[in-house]
Amino acid sequence: MGFLISAYVETRRRQLGLSLPELARRCGWRDERSFIELYEKWLDRGMENFLLLTLLEEPLGLNSRVLERLARKDAQRTRDDEAAEERDRPFEPRMIVRYMPTVYGEVPFPADLHGNMDAMVRYAKDWFREHGGRFRVLCLRPLPRVTVYLAEDGSVARVDLAASEGEAWKREPRTSIEGLPGSARIRKCGNPEET
């Protein structure tokens, strides 16, 4: 993915007719080869080197307001791409278990329970009893961005739904995953043909 901010800087350099060695000299960089290497890496990665961007601002006559606006757009594009990637990634429901204070682990659910919240809660209660009550099942993760917190007795205390970025967590008194966003994406881990 090309970054808008890198395209702006490279376009400006070409408009001024500056070669990379000349740009290195104008930036006060002693080793031209290391500058060229750094600049080319920055063009590929975009926003990773703000120090270089600061050095380029004066020799290229870059507008700081334009740079800020492009940096915001690049950051939003990156977040959108990461969100799309997360949506496409298969998800395996699991429960979060406290083995002892400050020691936590994840236990996957059997594939036949995926998509059935009541069965997952019953499984968590049974798992707790089976292990003699030594470990506490804290919560279930039946879907991406959904956390089901359990009370001491194993009943559902609350369900938290993660909202989109920038919004607060939504707390809704739910006891079912029916109709929750992403419920169709639960991966059937026991049967790869159903993923």
How much is the pLDDT for 113? 83
Confidence of residue 58 (pLDDT cuts 50, 70, 90): very high
Can you name the residues that pair with 100 across neighbouring β-strands?
Answer: 103
Shared domain for 127 and 100, answered yes or no, is yes
Q: Residue 21 is part of which domain span?
A: 4-83
> Domain boundary at 13, 48, 83, which?
83
- Spatial distance between the Cα atoms of 10 and 71, rounded to a whole number of angstroms: 15
> Domain boundary at 83, 109, 137, which?
83
The reply to whether 88 falls in a domain is no
Shared domain for 118 and 190, answered yes or no, is yes
Looking at residue 62, which CATH number applies to its domain? 1.10.260
How much is the pLDDT for 185? 42
Shared domain for 120 and 178, answered yes or no, is yes
Shared domain for 187 and 138, answered yes or no, is yes
Count of structural domains, the chain: 2
Shared domain for 102 and 170, answered yes or no, is yes
The reply to whether 168 falls in a domain is yes
Residue 161 predicted with pLDDT over 70: yes
> Domain boundary at 55, 83, 111, which?
83
Shared domain for 127 and 63, answered yes or no, is no
How much is the pLDDT for 190? 33
- Are the C-beta atoms of 120 and 93 separated by less than 8 Å? yes
- pLDDT, tens digit, 9 for 90 and up, residues 70-122: 888 988 888 888 777 777 777 788 888 888 878 888 888 888 887 777 788 88
- Spatial distance between the Cα atoms of 158 and 53, rounded to a whole number of angstroms: 47
- Are the C-beta atoms of 145 and 181 separated by less than 8 Å? yes
For 161, phi and psi rounded to 5 degrees? -110, 125
Share of the chain above pLDDT 90, in %: 19
Which residue in the block uniquely carries the two structure tokens 């290497």? Answer: 37
The reply to whether 32 falls in a domain is yes
Confidence of residue 21 (pLDDT cuts 50, 70, 90): very high
